[in-house]
Amino acid sequence: MKKFIAKSEESKKILNIVQVSSALPVNVIIFGEIGVGKKLLAKEILPEAIILDGKFLETSIINNSINIDQYKELIITNIHLVLNKKEFLSNLINIKIVATSKTLLQDIEEQFAIKVEISPIKQRPEDLEEISNIYMKNANEIYNSHISLDSIQTDISENGISLKKSIYKNTLLHSLSDNDINQALESFISKKLDENESYKYFLKIIEIPLLHVAKTKFKSQLQMATKLNLNRITLRKKIEQYFGENHD
Amino acid sequence: MTNFYEKLLEYDLNPYFVFNSNGRIKSFNKEAEFLLNYVSVKELFQLAVDNASKDFGFAQRYIPLKFNKHSYYAILIGYVSEEEIALRLYKVVSNQSNTINSGKLKLVNIFSLIELSKNTTLLNNPIKINEIYDISLPEMKININEFLLCLNDCFKYFENDTEITLKVRMKVGEYEVVNNKKYKIIALEFSANHIIQYNQLLEEKAAKANANVFFSHNKMKVELPIIL
């Protein structure tokens, strides 16, 4: 089971809060941005409980398609999306609830004796480092590579979700062999040919990243032409074509 | 006959005081003596002076007052000479007995609830809390959900403070009668370096948790019976 990572002082306190809460007959609401670990934290409180989406559960209760009395405890995600929250919660008074939400909802605040806010991952550098290392290790194992975190660009705009995505994607891209690239290109070309794309289009797909990287690496057009073994006039024409006339 | 009237006042359920011109008490009854446990003589004298009629005479004022658990709905000020002033307070009478639904009570360590509430309400708040706890207090039966909701609001009240003190102790010699049984009382006393305003919402929340909350100057006190 995946665990809530708690290396920062804030996260350690949060983990301590939920450990105490798990033994108490009170409802808990966990709120914070997407990808901060709300669901993982909820699982720390109720490891055996099933997880239901708030809106789905609301519809199921209205349609009488769920026997709510069978549950003693529930993890309800995205409770902020439930339309009639007070009525929704009035159906669940005999159940211990751990709910997750994007924000703390004032209209139902009183239904939750324990309110836990998880900060964005960028505000918890110790957690960010630990989580990044875990994802990096897993990605290296999957793609059989030895890439270090320093050599890739990570994205934490959506906290853990975008971080994981960016690490896996970058590791995959770094570990591709010529054969993998050929296969990927062939699959891409096959799809695009079905869409009637022209030779010019495919040339553009290859040449734009090539010229972009060469420009970053070799700085001047003279060096680019020499290293790529390409006529300078042809190179200039292509740069003008793809990046505009004043691009040098 | 004078003796009869004196006795009538002495055994009256409403407290009365007679002050001299310096604010010293000249005379008072049993109820008044009891009230002095919760409010200072100075405060009561000031109440009488502030509400006395401009000229000599008797003035009735319908003002709600609350000292500890006791509420009053009106006062009478007798001001007939420069030498003395009298104050009588009229009690709000409730015939509701103090009962608790024991089904919702769970045995718990109160300090773990305090810690939990403090950490959730003031998670990233740099406030300094001086904790003076009597850790010998036993586990007690509490309506955990309602008590936490009340406690959260107590801590939230101080979220803009830099330093507060929280004392938790058992009250000596005081009891509360609940369901016709006598229980000792635990007091959580929050104090800050500013005046704490009366908060009706908090009072209502405390009542749901079978607790009482009192506000006096820079202190907020939550008291609840120790049900074992």
pLDDT tens for each residue of B38-57: 888 999 999 999 999 888 89
**pLDDT over threshold 90, residue A2:** no
- Flag whether residue A181 sits within 8 Å of chain B, measured between CB atoms: no
Residue of B195 and A245 predicted with greater confidence: B195
- Flag whether residue A95 sits within 8 Å of chain B, measured between CB atoms: no
Q: What angle do CA B197, B203, B209 make, to 5 degrees?
A: 145
Residue of A24, A65, A67 whose CA lies nearest to B113: A24
Q: Read off the pLDDT band of B179 (50, 70, 90).
A: confident
Q: Read off the pLDDT band of A133 (50, 70, 90).
A: very high
Percent of chain A past pLDDT 90, that is, above it, reads 78
**pLDDT over threshold 80, residue B103:** no
**pLDDT over threshold 80, residue A238:** yes
pLDDT of residue A246: 53
Sheet containing A114-117: give its strands across.
A50-53, A73-77, A96-101, A28-31, A114-117
Nearest to B119 among A17, A25, A119 (CB): A17
CB B162 within 8 A of CB B127: yes
Lowest mean pLDDT among A70-74, B9-13, B87-91, B92-96: B92-96
Global ipTM: 0.72
Backbone angles phi, psi at B187, to 5 degrees: -120, 130
pLDDT of residue A84: 92
Please indicate whether, in this complex, the C-beta atoms of B119 and A13 are within 8 angstroms of each other.
Answer: yes
* The two three-digit tokens of residue B159, written as one number: 């979220």
Nearest to B106 among A14, A21, A25 (CB): A25
Which among A48-62, B1-15, B64-78, B102-116 has the top mean pLDDT? Answer: A48-62
pLDDT tens for each residue of A41-51: 999 999 999 99
Numbered ranges of CATH 1.10.10 in chain A: 180-243
pLDDT of residue B65: 87
Instruction: Compute chain A's Rg from CA coordinates.
Output: 26
Question: From the centroid of its chain, how far is CA B200?
Answer: 13
Q: What angle do CA B98, B99, B105 make, to 5 degrees?
A: 130
- Cα dihedral A82, A84, A86, A90, rounded to 10, equals -90
Please indicate whether, in this complex, the C-beta atoms of A119 and B124 are within 8 angstroms of each other.
Answer: yes
Q: Read off the pLDDT band of B1 (50, 70, 90).
A: low
Give the amino acid at A20: V
Numbered ranges of CATH 3.40.50.300 in chain A: 9-119
Q: Read off the pLDDT band of B170 (50, 70, 90).
A: very high
Which CA distances in Å does A152 have to A125, A129, A166, B47?
Answer: 17, 14, 9, 73
Calculate how close chain A gets to B196, using CA atoms only, in Å. 23
Which residues in chain A are closer than 8 Å to B112, comparing Cβ atoms?
A: 20
CB A49 within 8 A of CB A75: yes
pTM score over 0.80: no
Calculate how close chain B gets to A119, using CA atoms only, in Å. 10
pLDDT of residue A131: 95
pLDDT tens for each residue of B106-145: 999 999 999 999 999 998 899 999 999 998 899 999 999 9
Q: Give the CATH number of domain A180-243.
A: 1.10.10
Domains and CATH numbers, chain B: 2-91 (3.30.450.20), 102-225 (3.30.565.10)
Q: Secondary structure of A137-168 in the HEC alphabet?
A: HHHHHHHCCCCCHHHCCCCCCCHHHHHHHHHH
Which residues in chain A are closer than 8 Å to B123, comparing Cβ atoms?
A: 10, 13-14, 116-117
Q: Which residues contact A246 (CB under 8 A, 6 or more apart)?
A: none
Calculate how close chain A gets to B124, using CA atoms only, in Å. 7
What is the CATH topology of the domain spanning A9-119?
Rossmann fold (3.40.50)
- Flag whether residue A20 sits within 8 Å of chain B, measured between CB atoms: yes
Which residues in chain A are closer than 8 Å to B121, comparing Cβ atoms?
A: 115
Q: Which residues contact B211 (CB under 8 A, 6 or more apart)?
A: B147, B150, B222, B223, B224
pLDDT tens for each residue of A163-200: 999 999 999 988 888 999 999 999 999 999 999 889 99
Calculate how close chain B gets to A84, using CA atoms only, in Å. 22
Cα–Cα distance, A21 to A99 (Å, whole number): 13
Q: What stretch of H or E contains A42?
A: helix A38-45
Lowest mean pLDDT among B21-25, B91-95, B153-157: B91-95
Cα–Cα distance, A87 to A181 (Å, whole number): 55
Give the amino acid at B220: M
